[in-house]
Structure 1
C-alpha cells in the first residue's frame, strides 16, 4: 500500500530548547509544523489506523526560486531540469526528522518501523511556495515480533 500527500510548507526541525524546570522541549514553530504535516496526512488517509508493519518513506523537498535569483540563473535552471539542486537551509536531515516525528502514532506506531528513508531536494520553477511531497510505502515483511507471536501461538496449540 502507498500513501502520498503534499505539505504546503517547508521547514526543518530546529534544535531543542531547554528549560531548567522542564528539561528539553520543542519550539512552538516545530510543534505547529508537525501538526501541519499530520493534518496533511490525515486529509488523504482519514480513517487510517497507525500501522505496525515496516514502512519506507520518500520525502521530496521542493524549493521555489527566490526573487533575488538572477533571471539568467532562473532560465538556466528552468531549461536544464534537474541539473541544479538547492544547497540551502533547511538541512535535509532536519526536514526528515520533522516528517518522521510528525507521523509517529499517525502513519505508524513508532519511527523505528522506518526501514528505508530517502530524502531529496529540488527546485520547482513553476511554484511560488516551498513544499514537501511525502510518499509512505507499507510492506508486509515479516518482523521479529511476527516470529515471536507465531512461536507463542504454536506453543499454546501444543498445550491444548
Structure 2
C-alpha cells in the first residue's frame, strides 16, 4: 500500500496513503474540482502564519505542543467521505530535477506516460467512502481539471520521474 517516487529526483520518497486520512492537506473529492479547497488553503496559511507569530512573541509562555484530538463527529466524517491529496507538495519534497519533463506511472495493469506538469496539477484519490483503495489502489490519479474523473488512472504502484 505504498507508492515510491523515484527516478529523476534528488530524493527518492515513499508515500503511504493509508495515513493520509489524518492529514490536514486532504481534500474532499466533491470539493477538489470546485476550487473551494484553494480558499481554505489560503485561510489555513494565514492561521499558521498567525500562530507562528504568536509562538515567536510568546515563546517563553508556550506549553508543549499537543496533537489535536479528533472528535467522534470528525472520525465518523472520515469514515463516510471520499478524499484526494494534491501531489505537488510531495514532488517538492522529492526535489524533481530541472531537466525532468515526463512521468511513468507504473500500475497493476501496465504503465501510463504523462507530462510532469500534468502530475504536478493532479490529485491522488486514496479513500473512497472512507475506505482505502485496496482492490485497484493504493491510489488513483485524477487531473485537477476533472477530465478523467470518470476514468482515473488506477492501481498506481510507483511514480518514476524522467
Which TM bucket (shorter chain)? under 0.3
Higher relative contact order (CA 8 A, sep 6+): 1
Normalised TM-score (structure 2): 0.26
Q: Larger Rg: 1 or 2? A: 1
Q: Which has the higher strand share?
A: 2
